[in-house]
């Protein structure tokens, strides 16, 4: 399975997916105390991604971008944001 995935990764030219991420236990391999992300500041960039259902309406992305602009945030879209595979995002 992982070989197939690696081959596919090469085919689609995506090198960022870790197929060999060590699986941590439910208790976590990292710190037990809360890991707090940095707060948002005006001018920051939001990455817009779609890890679940496919997007059928390009207007949704425009509305999201305008929403972020109203919060003084920039937007960067995921490479596969608009991909579709049946009801799932993303196939290319």
Binding site for another protein (CB under 8 A): 1, 4-5, 8-9, 11-12, 14, 16-19, 21-41, 44-55, 60-61, 63-64, 67-68, 70-71, 76, 78-81, 83, 85, 87-92
**What span, in angstroms and rounded, lies between the C-alpha atoms of 57 and 18?**
30
CA angle 52-69-92, nearest 5°?
A: 30
Q: How far is the CB of 67 from another protein (least distance, A)?
A: 5
Q: How far is the CB of 54 from another protein (least distance, A)?
A: 7
CB 91 within 8 A of CB 84: yes
């Amino acid at each position: 399975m992982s070989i197939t995935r690696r081959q596919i990764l090469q085919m689609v030219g995506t090198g960022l997916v870790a197929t060999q991420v060590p699986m941590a236990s439910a208790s976590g391999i990292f710190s037990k105390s809360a890991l707090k992300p940095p707060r948002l500041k005006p001018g920051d960039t939001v990455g817009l991604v779609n890890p679940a259902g496919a997007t059928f309406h390009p207007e949704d992305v425009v509305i999201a971008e305008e929403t972020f602009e109203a919060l003084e945030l920039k937007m960067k879209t995921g490479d596969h944001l608009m991909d579709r595979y049946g009801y799932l995002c993303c196939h290319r």
